[in-house]
């Protein structure tokens, strides 16, 4: 399922947080949405998931407009916000069961077993979420995002603050998830894009300044590193 964005904009008075950006994310390829802090990344993610109303423009997921078919589209999306909203007093399995019920899933017990194994939460599933490390909380966040088996994943800063071991595990999980899904990852970490993504978008002050496959972008810039290209485009 492709994600198609056409001249999407979000304005707050005179401030243009996102300024008429257009791009496409395709199945089987992980798209890195790269930009400095405050560039408009999270605002775009919130518009794509229907949590924020665009000022103008449109976005389609599987050919359905996110505004006209909001509820239907949200069922197709798995969303991990930057600050994962978790219920700290709930147990891991209890929380994921609650999420599964909100989606009206059938055979919830089996689905819980599958997703807990998939994200590596087996030994933590009977602990309270508030007792978990940041890395395991991120796994719970990913588990809630994929529990309904969405074909589009939108992950906002999914590895922020993780230690090297946690980082490697989460990256491998995202790579596996991206093999047969459309995945968009918002980040300001260059290494994240290099390690995970096939395509990259660079946004600066709400404006799209690059949109290409990573190899093509480097070739177009005389084989500079992604970090060098990023600095050049976001000065």
127-153 per-position pLDDT tens digit = 999 999 888 898 999 999 999 999 999
Residue 177 has pLDDT above 80, yes or no: yes
pTM of the model: 0.90
User: Tokens at residue 36, please?
Assistant: 């400095």
pLDDT value at 199 more than 90: yes
* Residue 57: closest CA among 45, 69, 66: 66
**More confident: 160 or 43:** 43
Six-digit token string for 115: 């997703």
In the structure, what pLDDT confidence band is assigned to residue 160 with cuts at 50, 70 and 90? Answer: confident
pLDDT at position 190 is 84
**E strand or H helix that includes residue 25:** strand 15-25
Listed in sequence order, the residues at least 6 apart from 49 whose beta carbon sits closer than 8 Å to its beta carbon are 66, 74, 77, 79, 154
* Helix locations, the chain, DSSP H: 41-48, 70-74, 92-102, 108-119, 134-146, 164-177, 190-196, 214-220, 226-233
Question: Mean pLDDT over all residues of the chain?
Answer: 91
The answer to whether 221 and 232 are in contact (CB under 8 A) is yes
> Tokens in use for 157?
């800063």
Please state the separation of Cα 131 from the chain's center in Å: 25
Average the pLDDT over 156-172 and give the result: 82
In the chain, the percentage of residues whose pLDDT exceeds 90 is: 66
Degrees to nearest 5, angle at CA 179 with 175 and 184: 65
pLDDT at 99 > cutoff 80: yes
For residue 15, give both structure tokens. 């401030």
Q: Which of 23, 6, 32 is nearest to 183 (CA)?
A: 32
50-86 pLDDT per residue, tens: 889 999 999 999 889 998 888 889 889 999 988 788 9
Q: Which 3 state secondary structure label does DSSP give 156? A: strand
Give ranges for CATH 3.40.50.300 in the chain.
16-76+150-235
Backbone angles phi, psi at 78, to 5 degrees: -110, 130
* Statement: residue 161 has pLDDT above 80: no
Cα 46 from chain centroid? 10
What CA–CA distance (Å, rounded) separates 200 from 184? 10
Q: What is the pLDDT of residues 100-112, one digit of tens each?
A: 999 999 999 999 9
Pairing of strands 64-65, 56-61: antiparallel
Tokens of 218: 């480097």
Q: Residues 16-39: pLDDT tens digits?
A: 999 999 999 999 999 999 998 889
Residue range 16-76+150-235 in CATH 3.40.50.300: yes
């Amino acid at each position: 399922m492709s994600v198609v964005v056409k001249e999407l904009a979000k304005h707050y008075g005179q401030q243009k947080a996102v300024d008429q950006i257009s791009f496409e994310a395709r199945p089987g390829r992980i798209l890195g949405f790269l930009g400095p802090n405050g560039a408009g990344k999270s605002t775009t993610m919130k518009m794509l998931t229907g949590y924020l109303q665009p000022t103008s423009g449109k976005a389609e997921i599987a050919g359905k407009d996110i505004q006209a078919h909001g509820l239907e589209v949200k069922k197709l999306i798995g969303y991990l916000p930057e600050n994962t909203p978790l219920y700290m007093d709930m147990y891991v399995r209890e929380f994921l069961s609650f999420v599964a019920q909100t989606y009206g899933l059938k055979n919830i017990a089996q689905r819980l077993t599958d997703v807990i194994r998939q994200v590596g939460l087996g030994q933590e599933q009977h602990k309270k979420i508030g007792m978990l490390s940041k890395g395991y909380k991120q796994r719970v966040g990913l588990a809630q995002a994929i529990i309904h088996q969405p074909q589009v994943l939108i992950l906002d800063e999914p590895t922020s603050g993780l230690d090297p071991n946690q980082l490697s595990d989460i990256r491998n999980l995202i790579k596996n998830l991206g093999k047969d899904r459309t995945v968009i990852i918002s980040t300001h970490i260059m290494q994240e894009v290099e390690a995970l993504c096939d395509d990259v978008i660079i946004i600066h002050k709400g404006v799209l300044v690059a949109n290409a496959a990573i190899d093509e972008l480097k070739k177009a810039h005389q084989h500079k590193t992604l970090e060098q290209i990023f600095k050049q485009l976001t000065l």
